[in-house]
Amino acid sequence: MATAALTGVAALIILGIVASKFLFVATDAVKGGMKVLSELPLKFQSQHITQTFRESITQITPTNGDVLELAVLESDETITKFDMRTVFNDLFYLGTTVSEIKVPAVYRYHLKISDAWKLETHGNVVTVVAPIIRPSLPPAIRTERMEKKSESGWLMFNKDQNLAELEKSITPTLEKRAGSAGKIKQVREGCRKAVAEFVKTWLIKEDQWKKDKLAAIVVVFADEPAAKELDGLKAMPATTAYESGAPLP
């Protein structure tokens, strides 16, 4: 009985030591985080940094005004038009005319600086919810590399007309493709890095991009699920962080 009591007392002592050690480490970490925050100017702390960014952003706005270009994507596009015809209530098949155009398209993507931004600081990390990515319309096409072909159905003679109609549809078709989820996905990570570089340029100008000040940038776009799921920007996906140990690409 006495042995059991002594064992219990010893266990309580060990637990107390471990708990006090954990408390010391946790308190030390909190103090470290608070120290970083206390060293930031008031305008760069979470409750003020968005306002500060908005007030000074016009000083580093690109020459094309409200548009911040983020990425360029060149893609070989194929557009096809089918014209199938029948007569006598589909009893007699006249054939199908098929026209096809292949052309390299140059897609550009940007965001509007005047759209809503949100920035916060947590320790020496700046988290950014940036405006949505937008396609710059219309896309450019490299006409010198355009390839066209058209074949009439076996009892049809409209290959030239079909091709002419297809050519007229190139621009509206490519505009739809430019804003598609697939195209946006292709350029999203490049856009993320461009926004991080944009914010970093601002922080350098404001003399806040230093290891002992703000040293990492996290970027999420307003239409990403992460932007809606975040609670006060207190947790961000690790894949969106850009550290300041080396220059951003």
pLDDT digits (tens, 9 = 90+) for 54-102: 888 866 555 567 899 999 999 999 999 999 999 888 889 899 999 999 9
pLDDT for 218-230, tens place per residue? 999 999 988 876 5
Higher-pLDDT residue of 192, 38: 192
Helix (H, G, I), strand (E, B) or coil at 160: helix
Amino acid at 216: A
Question: How much is the average pLDDT of 201-220?
Answer: 90
The CA distance from 228 to 233, in Å, is 10
HSE toward the beta carbon, residue 234, CA cutoff 13 A: 2
Structural domain spans, the chain: 1-39, 41-74+106-144+168-243
DSSP readout, 94-122? EEEEEEEEEEEEEEEEEEETTS--EEEEE
Among the ranges given (23-27, 48-52, 132-136), the one the predictor scored with the smallest mean pLDDT:
23-27
| Tokens linked to 220 | 């999420």
The CA distance from 122 to 220, in Å, is 15
Give residue 112's pLDDT.
Answer: 93
The CA distance from 244 to 249, in Å, is 11
The CA distance from 152 to 156, in Å, is 6
pLDDT for 145-174, tens place per residue? 999 999 998 889 999 999 999 999 999 999
